[in-house]
Each structure stands twice: as structure tokens, then as C-alpha cells.
């Protein structure tokens, strides 16, 4: 069986189940990909840059790492309630404001619909 790189978790605010594909930092398989890509770039640039093509390794590493972290941050925000745990660690009031704005902008969100129920349907039976 193929090893799955999907991580199951729950949103800290609305408790909806979520699946995260990315992690905070790059994994060992990504280091191998960076190495192969930089070797290919060095080989293809060698007629023009000679040994200076080896400098492609840190450039590719920085680009790969920053794009991977931006994908992780983009995926971390809950699509149902707008809660972002990274912002919550930095500023709680700002995060609360962003969640309220998200729920006002998306009134058909399952979290916003749960908040509108004023009566308990299981009482007065």
C-alpha cells in the first residue's frame, strides 16, 4: 500500500474534521527532490556558468521551502469558520475579528448556520 501523506485533524474553533496535506517543514523526500533538481540545473547551466552552476542549490532550496511553507499556511486556515491557528498564536483579538468577518461574508457556512438556530428542536415534544 502506498503511504498516505494526509494528516487528519479537527478545527480548534468549529471542531469540523479536516485533512492537511502539507506540514510545517519540508520532509526528507523533498531534500532528495531539491538535490536532483539542482543537479539537473547545474548540468544544464554548465556551458554558460561552469562551476558557478552549483549556486543553484541554495536558490532552489529557498524557493522550494518558501513555496512549501506558503502552501501550508494557506491550507491551515479553516474553510468553514475562517479560523487561522497561526494568527491565533500571534494575536487573539485580530483572529476573532477575522473569524467574525469571515462568518459575515459567508452566511451559508455550516458554522454560521449553526449559530442561527435559536430554538432547540428536541425540546417541547
Q: What is the pLDDT of residues 27-44, one digit of tens each?
A: 888 999 999 999 898 888
- Please give the share of the chain, as a percent, with pLDDT higher than 70: 86
> Does position 67 have pLDDT exceeding 90, yes or no?
yes
pLDDT at 122 over 60: no
Domain-embedded: residue 125: no
**Statement to judge: residues 69 and 102 lie in one domain:** no
The range of the structural domain enclosing residue 106 comes to 79-116
Residue 14 belongs to a domain? no
> Is residue 115 very low, low, confident or very high in pLDDT (cuts 50, 70, 90)?
low
C-alpha–C-alpha distance, residues 81 and 113, integer Å: 11
Residue 2 lies in a domain: no
Q: Same structural domain for residues 67 and 91?
A: no
Q: Residue holding cell 477575522?
A: 98
Percent of the chain exceeding pLDDT 90 equals 27
At 9 the three-state DSSP class reads strand
CA 114 to chain CA mean position, Å: 25
Residue 5 included in any domain: no
The arithmetic mean of pLDDT across residues 37-54, rounded, is 83
Are residues 71 and 89 located together in one domain of the fold? no
In a domain, 19, yes or no: no
Q: Are residues 85 and 59 in the same domain?
A: no
- Number of domains into which the chain is organized: 2
Cell 451559508 sits on residue: 108
Q: Are residues 40 and 52 in the same domain?
A: yes
State mean pLDDT over 57-81: 92
Amino acid at each position: 500500500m502506498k503511504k498516505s501523506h494526509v494528516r487528519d485533524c479537527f478545527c480548534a474553533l468549529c471542531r469540523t474534521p479536516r485533512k492537511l496535506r502539507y506540514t510545517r517543514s519540508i520532509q526528507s523526500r523533498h531534500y532528495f527532490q531539491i538535490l536532483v533538481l539542482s543537479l539537473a540545473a547545474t548540468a544544464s547551466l554548465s556551458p554558460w556558468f561552469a562551476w558557478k552552476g552549483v549556486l543553484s542549490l541554495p536558490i532552489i532550496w529557498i524557493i522550494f521551502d518558501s513555496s512549501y511553507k506558503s502552501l501550508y499556511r494557506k491550507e491551515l486556515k479553516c474553510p468553514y469558520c475562517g479560523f487561522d491557528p497561526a494568527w491565533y498564536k500571534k494575536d487573539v483579538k485580530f483572529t476573532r475579528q477575522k473569524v467574525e468577518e469571515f462568518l459575515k461574508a459567508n452566511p451559508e457556512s455550516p458554522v454560521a448556520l449553526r449559530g442561527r438556530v435559536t430554538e432547540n428542536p428536541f425540546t417541547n415534544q
